[in-house]
A and B are shown apart, each in its own frame.
Chain A
Amino acid sequence: MAEYNFLVVEDSPTMRQLISFSLKRIRGARIFEAGNGVEALKKLSESKINLIVADINMPLMDGLKLLSIVRKDPNYSLIPVIIVSTEGADADKEKGLKLGANAYLPKPIQTNELLKTVKELAKIEE
């Protein structure tokens, strides 16, 4: 069975658990969690991550900064990144997509939409 390593970057434990809980429904999914961009970069260096789901507003390093670092690093530049945010503003969406995010999901996250996007980006067929 194929294994998929997903990295959930979210400072809110509730949202982190909710996203992880949803992603665990994908067969072969292994979830890695980080509370901010700095922790996320550490996790990226430790494991081979297939996809990142990151919040925008986070302490220490926000999702957009993390995204720009990931896209500039040749080791991680091809990893699909989904940006999530409560803001729902077009400006956030635009910023994220400009920096190279593959998708943008506004909060409150719809689990079906999240799973559909993740499966599409990680090329998972179930």
Chain B
Amino acid sequence: MDKPESGPELFKKTREFLEVFRKGEEFTQDLLKENERLRYKIVQLEEDSKTIKKGMEGTPVSELQEMLQKVQEEKQTLLDRFKEVEAENKDFATKYIEVEEENNNLANLYVASYQLHSTLDFNEVLRILQEIVINLVGSDRFAIMVLDEVTNELTAVASEGIEEKRMKKIKLGEGIIGDVAKTGESYFEPDVEGFKPAHEMDTLVCIPLKIKDRVIGVLAIFSLLEQKSKKLSRVDYELFSMLAGHAATAIFSSKLYSVSERKLSTIQGFIDLLSGKDK
């Protein structure tokens, strides 16, 4: 059995117990205060939350909606512009192809006219004209006919795919070729693809070789090369139109030149004879 505690010891223990009790009380007080502070904080946070909620429900949403509307409008504008630019691009691409084609056509026309005027030799001019018709127009059967202004007859001076000798002389106004020479108007068979000649001189295209309004001959085309797709393009018509003028000038100049050359040599012969150089 434990000994009963003495009076001073009991007193000491009582004081210690009271001390602990007082500290516990202080601690409880602190806890209560902290609790109160936290409650207040919660209330404050709840208030804040309510305000934020109110704010979200109010002005900012309408602003966002407005912004969204604006963005959608901008998007539509951009889409419209994009479509416009796309259409412009397509337009540019088409124009680019057209310009390229035009360049090619101009190059063909330049080469043709350059070659035609590169010589004053009549036979050379005819040879070049034949090359142009074969290589640029794409014909394998054609004839170049010159008009005799005395007899009013057209005679073949050069041909391809058909013998000149076999070609009869054509009177002015006779058939398509004679008519073209008479009127000075080009003839184009309306149905090139379906063209079925009954005679070897049935004409697909006939163009007058003209110097101003004076017809000096014709270019008659009887058929096109197989790979020519049996149709005439815009450049072909331009080429025909160019040939009508340039070929005529080239043929006329070269004929004139050969005549003047002959005359010059005759005159020179006379001069030599008179001056006694021949002796």
Contacts and interface: CB of A to CB of B under 8 A. Distances in A.
Contact of A108 (B111, B114, B115, B136): B136
Interface in B65-117: 100-101, 103-104, 107-108, 110-112, 114-115
A30 to B, nearest CB: 18
Contacts, number: 59
Contacts of A21: 107, 110-111
B225 A111 contact: no
B107 A22 contact: yes
Given A14-B128, A88-B226, A88-B227, A107 B111 contact: no
Contacts of B104: 22, 110-112
Nearest to B137: A108
A17 interface: yes
A88 B135 CA distance: 12
Contacts of A107: 134-135, 138, 225, 227
Taking residues whose C-beta sits less than 8 angstroms from the other chain, chain B's interface range is: 20 to 34
Given A14-B135, A17-B114, A17-B115, A86 B108 contact: no
A112 B115 contact: no
A18 B135 contact: yes
A70 to B, nearest CB: 24
Given A14-B128, A14-B131, A15-B131, A106 B111 contact: no
The 3 A-B residue pairs whose C-beta atoms are closest, nearest first, are A111-B104, A108-B138, A88-B227
